[in-house]
Structure 1
């Protein structure tokens, strides 16, 4: 039986694991090219978690589950690095996610993926892997996480958390490669927001992609 632990560095909301990073950890335990990961509860940090039957368990409690997945839409279109860099200046963040490993503005050891608008329902951010985290599935899934959320309207005022993420890693970026992360809103249904994200390399190749379901907080 495999045991995994989420280091405190890789947090999302305060005190819990970043959904994309945790999803990537679990996805790389499977052989399928596309994996769907469902977050059943907040993944705890710095606690040994058991991997069993595709799920991640904290004691007897199922925290994260995974199954073979499939995509329902095309990946978001690529955006130029210059456009993504310009959009980053629009990113504001909020108090809830200020310390997030992926998008937090108060982190000096995070990914700094601060996605701003590049069109109707689309956001983008530049990202360059710096080698402080191994370049593999958990890092790529983490990079794909937050830009999907920031494509939701009024995300600053009505924040949402990741409910599920379906993803696939096609290629890995090189150390120091100038990448672009794109997020796109697909639709909203009540408290649920459906989004898609992708990471492109500096030569325009698609490195990875995902589809996500987000759950708004504090809404009936």
Structure 2
């Protein structure tokens, strides 16, 4: 969680340089590349929370599936990290490839699975334990799923940045600057919501209030 939250904070701070019209476009693009390099660390951090949570949940007795299930989960994580790194490579090359789409779709599939599993477990339908003192785990799954949704919104804003800078590289473009300013303004609001969900997930895991 530290890598995830710390990376998001670094992206937030670096974004001020990206949108500073007083800087040369080449310098702003350099900061944009820095944002992408930091962001990939955060992305690996967030996808690592799922296998870690499932493994630790098994050790705590609230997630009943171990053995081969956890082996499969960790193998899936390895594949997920590989896709994430390949998507990052192509993004740095300013290429739109299948790996970027696969990375997005991994979230589209994970979000309903995680939130749905958390809800059914809280309702006593399984697959995870949700007795007295165990409900925090399923609640944390739901919050984690919500944070993935917020992260997708942030990804939407980041997806537009390379195209905008391709326009700015051709010369001054007031419309592109205005669009970039709108995107970063909205992204900063979403980032605060992101940190709140991250904090809520951490609170549930640390305090276990229910």
TM-score class, shorter-chain normalisation, is under 0.3
TM-score, normalised relative to structure 1: 0.24
Higher helix share: 2
Higher strand share: 1
TM-score, normalised relative to structure 2: 0.25
